[in-house]
């Protein structure tokens, strides 16, 4: 079945366009509600959101959809995506919903769905919901319409859970930490977690107004946090994205520390303590070859999946791994959650920092990444990767890199982009093959 609504991370698009309208959101609520109405208990869904202006509209539409098919709704207000996954399990809900377009600008929004186990939905569940979206919903009788309520303690529940992810004897006293919340979902909880553990917190990106999410702040716009770390003499900077499932770190020198280095640190520390399971780390095809070489030097493995944290999670579950993630900053620590959690990953980094005698620039530089280049080519329609000239350009690039590097070509699951990535020991060669493929895609687009 061809997917019309679901991409690699739920449903996402420009607000009030195509799939991201209130009408579609209501249908999603009806379809997902009907799909998860199993058993005779009173059915329940937890709905959270980030700080986008359109979040109110999408929340109201989803509530209408779920209640119309007889499902009760619990609304949390702005909370990180991992908090919604946690609360879905904790509150014995049948379904969890996060309204967010993650690191995208405010004009976009999205709907992420979690099953009762707190994990993102399987392909089978998504396809079943897609099929129901084309069917007339079976509406509940008037006496069976669902009820909706907001809960006031959701933030406190998440803050408590996040702090439980590190040892109770760890304090962050003496650390000065810049925490950039991207004007997003973690703007209250992330600074609170780190402050409660004793650190001096300098907050950034914590004044959302509905339209400034990810605007010049957060894990995809690091200039502001780099400047603030240098200006304040902070020991480290923590940058989250709009829904706080990603983490990028800035060291005391203002240098970027990506997800590969963070995974290397977390996995190494856990392996030293006998806490790492699966014998290594799960990451995607985008992770740097330097990470793979470093893990091998430590007697650990790197298993690669397709891009998308859902695929990382699937492999982690299959292989019994408890650490996985993406170079872009999704950090999945299976012992503490069922999806990426930037705040929890940040606490692992901060814990390691206070327990070492090293500055962040030393602690978080465990390997030298090989030259890697990623470029995006936007297209208006069609299927550029099916073009004969593009296929030939890709084949030529792969032949040139054979034995000396890697080439990864993929279509974005959330935007009309072709992503072209190459890496290898020869930076000039890497740039040459990436440009050749990009030129071919542009010509075909």
d(CA 14, CA 101): 9
Cβ–Cβ contacts within 10 Å for residue 165, how many? 18
Reduced to 3 states, what is the DSSP secondary structure of residue 426? Answer: coil
- CB of 387 closer than 8 Å to CB of 444: yes
- CB of 90 closer than 8 Å to CB of 79: no
Query: Cα–chain-centroid distance for residue 274?
Result: 27
48, 49, 53, 60, 84 from 57: Cα distances, Å:
13, 11, 8, 5, 19
β-strands 301-305, 72-78 pairing: unpaired
- CB of 350 closer than 8 Å to CB of 194: yes
Catalytic residue among 22, 100, 102, 287: 102
β-strands 236-240, 247-251 pairing: antiparallel
- CB of 268 closer than 8 Å to CB of 298: yes
Is residue 102 flagged as an active site residue?
Answer: yes
Q: For the chain, how far is it from start to end, CA to CA, in angstroms?
A: 26
d(CA 97, CA 84): 7
β-strands 247-251, 95-99 pairing: unpaired
β-strands 405-411, 417-424 pairing: antiparallel
Beta bridge partners of 419: 376, 410
Catalytically annotated residues: 102
């Amino acid at each position: 079945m061809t997917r019309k609504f679901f991409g690699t991370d739920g449903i996402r698009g420009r607000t009030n366009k195509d799939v991201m309208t209130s009408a579609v959101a209501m249908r999603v609520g009806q379809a997902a509600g009907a799909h998860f109405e199993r058993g005779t208990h009173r059915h329940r869904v937890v709905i959270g959101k980030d700080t986008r202006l359109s979040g109110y509209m999408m929340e109201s539409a989803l509530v209408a959809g779920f209640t119309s098919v007889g499902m009760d709704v619990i609304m949390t207000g702005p909370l990180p995506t991992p908090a919604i996954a946690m609360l879905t399990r904790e509150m014995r809900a049948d379904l969890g919903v996060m309204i967010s377009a993650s690191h995208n600008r405010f004009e976009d929004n999205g709907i992420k769905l979690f099953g009762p186990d707190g994990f993102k939905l399987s392909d089978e569940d998504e396809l079943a919901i897609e099929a129901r979206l084309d069917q007339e919903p079976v509406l509940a009788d008037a006496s069976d319409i669902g009820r909706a309520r907001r809960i006031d303690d959701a933030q406190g529940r998440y803050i408590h859970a996040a702090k439980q992810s590190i040892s109770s004897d760890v304090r962050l006293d003496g650390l000065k930490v810049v925490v950039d919340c991207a004007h997003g979902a973690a703007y209250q909880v992330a600074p609170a977690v780190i402050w409660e553990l004793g650190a001096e917190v300098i907050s950034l990106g914590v004044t959302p107004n509905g339209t400034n999410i990810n605007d010049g702040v957060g894990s995809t716009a690091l200039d502001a946090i780099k400047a603030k770390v240098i200006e304040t003499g902070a020991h480290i900077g923590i940058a989250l994205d709009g829904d706080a499932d990603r983490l990028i770190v800035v060291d005391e020198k203002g240098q970027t520390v990506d997800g590969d280095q963070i995974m290397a640190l977390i996995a190494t520390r856990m392996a030293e303590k006998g806490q790492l399971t699966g014998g290594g780390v799960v990451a995607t095809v985008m992770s740097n070859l330097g990470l793979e070489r470093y893990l091998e030097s430590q007697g650990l493995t790197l298993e690669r999946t397709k891009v998308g944290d859902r695929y990382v999670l699937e492999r982690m579950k299959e292989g019994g791994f408890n650490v996985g993630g993406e170079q872009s900053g999704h950090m999945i620590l299976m012992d503490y959650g069922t999806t990426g959690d930037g705040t929890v990953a940040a606490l692992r980094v901060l814990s390691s920092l206070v327990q070492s005698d090293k500055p962040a620039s030393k602690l978080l530089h465990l390997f030298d990444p090989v030259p890697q280049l990623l470029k995006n080519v936007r297209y208006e329609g069609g299927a550029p990767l099916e073009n004969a000239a593009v296929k030939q350009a890709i084949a030529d690039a792969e032949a040139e890199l054979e034995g000396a590097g890697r080439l990864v070509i993929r279509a974005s699951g959330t935007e009309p982009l072709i992503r072209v990535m190459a890496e290898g020991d020869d930076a000039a060669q890497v740039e040459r093959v990436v440009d050749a493929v990009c030129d071919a895609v542009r010509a075909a687009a």
